[in-house]
Chains A and B, each alone.
Chain A
């Protein structure tokens, strides 16, 4: 049973839709991460939050908008996406930024039509 839960597990959206991905961690961690996993490519770090403050934005297009209302929840708001944004989006958490063992959720499989 993972301590990091992501919803929904699957999402299909059109290029004009607005949707949100949700991540919740039950581990008492202070740092949370969004990654993009595309076929045949390494995981790409998108955003990092520590104590609800964004500490990393890895040149991610503005059509992806993260939100961290508290240390247990992380959202990724999506709007006007492109087909090349179709991927598995993984959320992870760690105790803090110094403790770099990251615990991953099962991901949201996103398809942009």
Chain B
């Protein structure tokens, strides 16, 4: 079974600073990888998805993530944080083959943006 580790349950940045949220997965086969965002009192919204077409994936709201097979990592970045980016971010990985609808989520990283 897949597992996902998000380093840092809480990350705090200043407005305009670089955002880096870390995600490592365990898998012998490159899976599908996702980043979701959850704003307060809302469900999860897809930020971006890795599908092996390109290692650098661009998502919504200026976020991007880079797949590094050698490091089994899929870190999420944004060059300049905005107050509206404050939310909880979840990394997820799918099972391979016919069970790729099964997503394994990390515990989440709460991003705080300070003025």
Contact = CB atoms under 8 A, between A and B. Distances in A.
Q: Do A and B bind each other?
A: yes
B41 A106 contact: yes
Interface residues of A, number: 25
B36 to A, nearest CB: 8
A106 B101 contact: no
B4 interface: yes
Interface string A32-63: 01000000111101001000000010000000
A31 B101 CA distance: 9
B100 A100 contact: yes
A45 B103 contact: yes
Given A40-B107, A56-B102, A100 B46 contact: no
Interface string A1-22: 0101010000000000000000
A33 B94 CA distance: 14
Interface residues of B, number: 24
Interface string B41-56: 1111110010000000
A104 B34 CA distance: 14
A8 to B, nearest CB: 13
A104 B43 contact: yes
Given A42-B107, A45-B102, A100 B32 contact: yes
Given A4-B43, A101-B46, A42 B101 contact: no
Contacts of B94: 100
Given A100-B100, A100-B103, A42 B4 contact: yes
A42 B105 contact: yes
A102 B36 CA distance: 10
25 contacts: A2-B43, A6-B43, A40-B107, A42-B107, A42-B108, A43-B90, A43-B103, A43-B105, A45-B103, A48-B101, A90-B44, A92-B43, A97-B98, A97-B100, A97-B101, A98-B100, A98-B101, A100-B103, A101-B34, A101-B49, A103-B46, A104-B36, A104-B43, A106-B41, A107-B43
Interface of B: 4, 9, 32, 34, 36, 41-46, 49, 90, 94, 98, 100-108
